[in-house]
Amino acid sequence: MVASPVVDSRFRLSEETAIQLASEFGTPLYVVSEEHFRSRIQRYRNAFKTAYSRGKISYASKANSTLALIKIAYQEGCSIDVASEGELRVALAAGVPADECHLHGNNKQAAELEFALTAGIGHIVADSFEELALLDGLMTPAQRSATKIVLRLAPGVDPITHAKMSTGQADTKFGFNIADGSAEKAAAKCLELKLNLYGFHCHVGSQLLDPEAQRSGGELIAAFAVDMKEKLGFAAEYLNVGGGLGVAYTADQQPMGVEDYCRLVVQSVIEALAGSGIDPILGQEPGRSLIAESGVTLYRVGVIKTVPAPEVGRRTYVAVDGGLSDNPRPALYGSKYTVERVAPNADPTGSQTVTVSGKHCETDKLFDAVELPSDLKAGDLLQVLCTGAYNASMASNYNRYPRPATALVRKDGSLCLIQRRDSWEEMLAREILPEGLI
Hey, which residues are catalytic here?
A: 361
CA atoms within 13 A on the CB side of 325: 20
Q: Per-residue x/- mask for ligand LLP, residues 85 to 124, rule CB under 6 A?
A: -------------------x--------------------
Alpha carbon distance 46, 265 (integer Å): 15
Among 122, 159, 255, 286, binds ligand LLP (CB under 6 A): 286
Alpha carbon distance 11, 419 (integer Å): 19
Q: Which stretch binds ligand LLP (CB under 6 A): 2-10, 14-22, 108-116, 199-207?
A: 199-207
Among 207, 214, 268, 327, binds ligand LLP (CB under 6 A): 207
> With respect to ligand LLP, which residue has the nearer C-beta, 106 or 345?
106
Per-residue H/E/C for 140-179: CHHHHHHCEEEEEEECCCCCCCCHHHECCCCCCCCCEECC
Among 18, 22, 32, 63, binds ligand LLP (CB under 6 A): 63
Site residues for ligand LLP, window 220-239 (CB under 6 A)?
Answer: none
Q: How many residues bind to ligand LLP according to rule CB under 6 A?
A: 19
Q: Is 79 in the site for ligand LLP (CB under 6 A)?
A: no
Q: Is 206 in the site for ligand LLP (CB under 6 A)?
A: yes
> With respect to ligand LLP, which residue has the nearer C-beta, 242 or 295?
242
Alpha carbon distance 188, 199 (integer Å): 12
Question: ω into residue 28 within 30 of 0, thus cis?
Answer: yes
> With respect to ligand LLP, which residue has the nearer C-beta, 167 or 325?
167
Q: Cα separations (Å) of 397 from 169, 322, 334, 337, 356?
A: 33, 11, 21, 22, 20
Among 12, 108, 288, 341, binds ligand LLP (CB under 6 A): 288
Using DSSP's 3-state secondary structure scheme, residue 19 falls into helix
Contact call for residues 149 and 126 (beta carbons, < 8 A): yes
Q: Is 159 in the site for ligand LLP (CB under 6 A)?
A: no
Work out whether strand 238-240 and strand 415-419 pair parallel, antiparallel, or are unpaired: unpaired
Q: Is 215 in the site for ligand LLP (CB under 6 A)?
A: no
What would you measure as the largest C-alpha separation in the chain, in angstroms?
Answer: 79
Closest residue by Cα to residue 280 from 325, 332, 238, 338? 238
CB of 285 vs ligand LLP, minimal distance in Å: 4
Q: Is 244 in the site for ligand LLP (CB under 6 A)?
A: yes
Residues engaged in binding ligand LLP (CB under 6 A): 60, 63, 81, 104, 165, 167, 203, 206-207, 242-244, 285-289, 329, 390
